[in-house]
Amino acid sequence: MSQKTEQLNELIAIIRDGQRFYEHAHDEIDNEQLKALLREMAEAKHQIIQALAVKVAANHEAPASSGTLVGKMRQAYADARATLSSDEEATYVAQLEEAEDRILEAFEDALESAQPDVQALLAVEMPKVRECHQRMSALSKKMQ
């Protein structure tokens, strides 16, 4: 596997963690307005994954199909905290904000070290990543 494909697949796995976490949180909460936001965020992650997967496939490689251990651990931690918390929604939002931090950091790191064609792709997707990060950050601050 080429370095380019490895880097893209790592990003796909990290973003897939976020997508699955949003879907899971959506299923765990009752607030319809928040559920709608979580659906939007999961869809944004899906779109980014698709864009990166096209590039991986163009290199005749298979896109990552799973997430990461860190992502699974974060989701389990959020579930445990939500169970113990008096504000389940705020707990999930805070943990989703941390997932967004991880995605943004991974994208920024990849932008610095990627080959030019991958940098161009990441630059196109970066506004979506930043918007998702900003939305969850703002919501988390509002819920504190």
- Name the helix (H) or strand (E) containing 129: helix 116-143
Looking up residue 16, the CATH number of its domain turns out to be 1.20.1260.10
Cα gap 15→101, rounded to integer Å: 11
Give the up-direction half-sphere exposure of residue 16: CA atoms within 13 A in the CB hemisphere.
20
* pLDDT confidence tier of residue 144, bands split at 50, 70 and 90: confident
Cα gap 37→40, rounded to integer Å: 5
| Digit-coded pLDDT (tens) for 6-51 | 999 999 999 999 999 999 999 999 999 999 999 999 999 999 999 9
| Digit-coded pLDDT (tens) for 108-135 | 999 999 999 999 999 999 999 999 999 9
- Report the domain count for the chain: 1
| Residue 1: predicted pLDDT | 65
CA separation (Å) from 101 to 14, 20, 57, 59, 62?
11, 16, 27, 28, 26
Backbone angles phi, psi at 67, to 5 degrees: -95, -155
| Digit-coded pLDDT (tens) for 47-63 | 999 999 999 998 888 88
87 — alpha (psi -120 to 50), left (phi > 0) or beta?
beta
The label of the residue with tokens 């509002």 reads 142
- What is the average pLDDT across 72-97? 82
On the question of pLDDT at 91 being above 70, the answer is yes
Contact 35, 28 (CB under 8 A): no
DSSP letter, residue 68: -
Tokens of 108: 């920024």
On the question of pLDDT at 84 being above 70, the answer is no
- What is the average pLDDT across 74-103? 85
Model's pTM, two decimal places?
A: 0.89
| Residue 71: predicted pLDDT | 75
| Digit-coded pLDDT (tens) for 61-81 | 888 888 877 777 777 777 777
Residue 64: give the domain boundaries.
3-143
